Amino acid sequence: MNSYCPHCEDLCEIEERTEKETVLVKTESIEINSQYFVCQKCKRDFSSMGQEEKNIEQAYEIYRQRHNLLHPEDIRKLREKYGFSQRQFARLLLWSEPIICQYESGRLPDVAHNEVLRFVKNPLNMRDLFLTNSRRLNQRDIESIRRAIYSVVNNARELFEHQSNWLIRTHFDYDGGAHSGNRRFNMDKFIQMIAFFVAEMGSVYKTKLNKLPFYADFLYKKLYGESITGMVYLRGIHGPVPKEYDEIFGLMKGLGIMDSEISEDGDSQTERFFIKVGPNQDVFSKIELDSIKNITSKFKHFSASQIEKYSHEEVGFRETKKWEIIDYEFAQSLSID
Ligand SMILES: [Zn+2]
> In the prediction, which pLDDT does 275 show?
92
> In the prediction, which pLDDT does 86 show?
94
Q: Is the pLDDT of residue 174 over 80?
A: no
- Count of residues for the chain? 337
Q: Which residue did the predictor score with more confidence, 270 or 295? A: 295
Closest-CA residue to 214 (of 306, 319, 327): 327
> In the prediction, which pLDDT does 297 show?
95
The rounded Å distance from CA 5 to ligand 1 centre is 5
List, in order of start, the domains of the chain with CATH numbers.
2-67 (3.10.20), 72-148 (no CATH), 172-333 (no CATH)
> For residue 277, what pLDDT band results from cuts at 50, 70 and 90?
confident
Q: Is the pLDDT of residue 266 over 80?
A: no
Concatenated DSSP letters of 114-140: HHHHHHTTSHHHHHHHHHHHGGGS-HH
**Positive or negative CA dihedral for 92, 97, 102, 108?**
negative
> For residue 152, what pLDDT band results from cuts at 50, 70 and 90?
confident
Concatenated DSSP letters of 254-315: HTTSEEEEEEEETTEEEEEEEESS---GGGS-HHHHHHHHHHHHHHTT--HHHHHHHHHTSH
> In the prediction, which pLDDT does 267 show?
66
Q: Is the pLDDT of residue 311 over 90?
A: yes
Residue 120 CB partners (closer than 8 Å, separation 6+): 78, 93, 126, 129
Q: Which residue did the predictor score with more confidence, 43 or 164? A: 43
The rounded Å distance from CA 231 to ligand 1 centre is 78
| Average pLDDT value for residue range 81-105 | 93
Q: Is the pLDDT of residue 153 over 70?
A: yes
The rounded Å distance from CA 16 to ligand 1 centre is 13
Q: What percent of the chain has pLDDT above 90?
A: 66
* Global pTM value: 0.59
Q: Is the pLDDT of residue 232 over 70?
A: yes
| Average pLDDT value for residue range 290-299 | 96
Distance CA 229, CA 216 (A): 9
Q: Any idea which of 140-144, 175-179, 223-227 has the lowest mean pLDDT?
A: 175-179
Q: Is the pLDDT of residue 151 over 90?
A: no
The rounded Å distance from CA 24 to ligand 1 centre is 28
> In the prediction, which pLDDT does 137 show?
84
The rounded Å distance from CA 11 to ligand 1 centre is 8
The rounded Å distance from CA 36 to ligand 1 centre is 13
State the average pLDDT for the chain.
Answer: 91
